[in-house]
Amino acid sequence: MNVSAQAPMEQRYFRISLHAIPPNVPIPCDAYIVVAGKLTLLRRTGETFTAERLRKLNRHEVQEFYAPIEQRPVFKEFLWKLLLDPTVPAERRAESVIEGTYLQAEEIDEQGPAFGAGITEMMKMLQKFGPNFVRAMNLGTLVSRIAGKGATRCHGVQTALYAMLLAAKAFPEQADLVWQVGIAGMLHDMGEKQLDARLVDNQQSMNGEDWQAYKAHPGHSVDVLSGVDSIPVEVKRAILEHHEHFDGTGFPKRLRGEEISPLARILALCDTLDKLMTGKGGGSSLPPDEALLMMQTIRPERFDPRLLSLFAAELRSAGRSARPGAGTQPELT
């Protein structure tokens, strides 16, 4: 990415969603936005945004800021404070869960072989704050937002967040499923790192041999996580079964119907939606309504029918399908 004179060339940056910034609260880091391909400083640490200014930026399709990477710990602390403050509205705390999940996923990715500590921290966060998140956020709103320009950041996190919201609606009496499916969603494709990048980035032209290699990735994911004792067996099972199909045509074991764990049946829906929306695997990226229509019309029998109709109802219940598109140039005020 090009940087302006205000953004030092040697600097690394992390992303912050606009939705994670509360209005009229001093920000804990410098906030840059991309203007004409260059990073430009918009607010310094300690300055504030009014609600109107945040709305204006959103209207101009500025959906994220960049901040210097060394300010990430202080920004994470800022999010935790919001999460723990009972005077902060539930919707605002739900935004902090979303942002905290993205940031934690980035850290796990950077931790290399020592990723176990990051996963344990993530589990604690989802256990503690997942209930507020599923009460205060709905699937339609979240999906519309993530489908917006520039908001797509991480397939694992998006799959996890959708899955938590669906699990809360599908199994309201089993509260633990929410954080368990969240962790499973985050980690389900970790095994893809062991595949040739060509198989992950472009599945449009795979031959039989390629497919055999690709079908091993759920097992690779579980193997990679075998040393992390804090991950429950239900989570590992969901990861292993996330490509099983309700009609018995999936992989790796060709399980059928309720032989597949409920968590894996939820993941299958959310994983597919995110892949279609983001173009993961080399397809074109679709708006949420088109992605859902495809899931409902092209071999819908691969999904649990009860979960598919609940998923469709939740997606349509709120929010409008945001379509990616070119934004206008924001004003730097």
User: Which residue's entry shows tokens 């607010």?
Assistant: 43
Per DSSP, the residues of 145-191 read HHHSTTT---HHHHHHHHHHHHHHHH-TT-THHHHHHHHHHHHTTGG
Q: Is 241 an interacting residue with respect to Fe ion (CB under 5 A)?
A: no
Hey, which residues between 208 and 237 contact Fe ion (CB under 5 A)? Answer: none
- What phi, psi does 228 have (nearest 5°)? -95, 95
Residue 82: CB minimum distance to Fe ion, A: 29
Here the tokens at position 98 are 């979303």
Residue 151: CB minimum distance to Fe ion, A: 18
Task: Report whether 221 contacts 214 (CB < 8 A).
Answer: no
How many secondary structure helices (H) and strands (E) does the chain include? Answer: 14, 5
- What residues pair up with 39 in beta bridges, in sequence order? 3, 34
- What phi, psi does 119 have (nearest 5°)? -70, -45
Here the tokens at position 38 are 């260059």
- Binding span for Fe ion by CB under 5 A among 69-77, 85-93, 187-195, 296-304: 187-195
Cβ nearer to Fe ion, comparing 107 with 244:
244
Q: Is 244 an interacting residue with respect to Fe ion (CB under 5 A)?
A: no
- Binding span for Fe ion by CB under 5 A among 8-16, 33-41, 177-185, 264-272: 264-272
Contact with Fe ion (CB under 5 A) among 189, 234, 241, 314: 189
Cβ nearer to Fe ion, comparing 43 with 188:
188
* Torsion angle of the four alpha carbons 142, 147, 151, 153, in this order, in degrees rounded to the nearest 10: 90
Hey, which residues between 27 and 86 contact Fe ion (CB under 5 A)? Answer: none
Residue 190: CB minimum distance to Fe ion, A: 10
Q: Is 271 an interacting residue with respect to Fe ion (CB under 5 A)?
A: yes
Cβ nearer to Fe ion, comparing 142 with 239:
239
Residue 127: CB minimum distance to Fe ion, A: 23
Q: What number of chain residues touch Fe ion (CB under 5 A)?
A: 2
- Binding span for Fe ion by CB under 5 A among 113-121, 182-190, 258-266, 313-321: 182-190
- Binding span for Fe ion by CB under 5 A among 83-91, 256-264, 270-278, 322-330: 270-278
Cβ nearer to Fe ion, comparing 271 with 314:
271
Cβ nearer to Fe ion, comparing 41 with 195:
195
Here the tokens at position 154 are 């991480």
Which runs of E-coded beta strand occur in the chain? 2-3, 13-17, 31-35, 38-43, 64-68
Residue 323: CB minimum distance to Fe ion, A: 23
Cβ nearer to Fe ion, comparing 93 with 217:
217
Cβ nearer to Fe ion, comparing 179 with 251:
251
User: Quick one: 47 exposed, middle or buried, by C-beta within 10 A (0-12, 13-18, 19+)?
Assistant: exposed
Task: Report whether 168 contacts 126 (CB < 8 A).
Answer: no
Cβ nearer to Fe ion, comparing 107 with 271:
271
Residue 130: CB minimum distance to Fe ion, A: 20
> How far is Cα 97 from Cα 269, in angstroms, rounded to an integer?
22
**Which residues of the chain form contacts with Fe ion (CB under 5 A)?**
189, 271
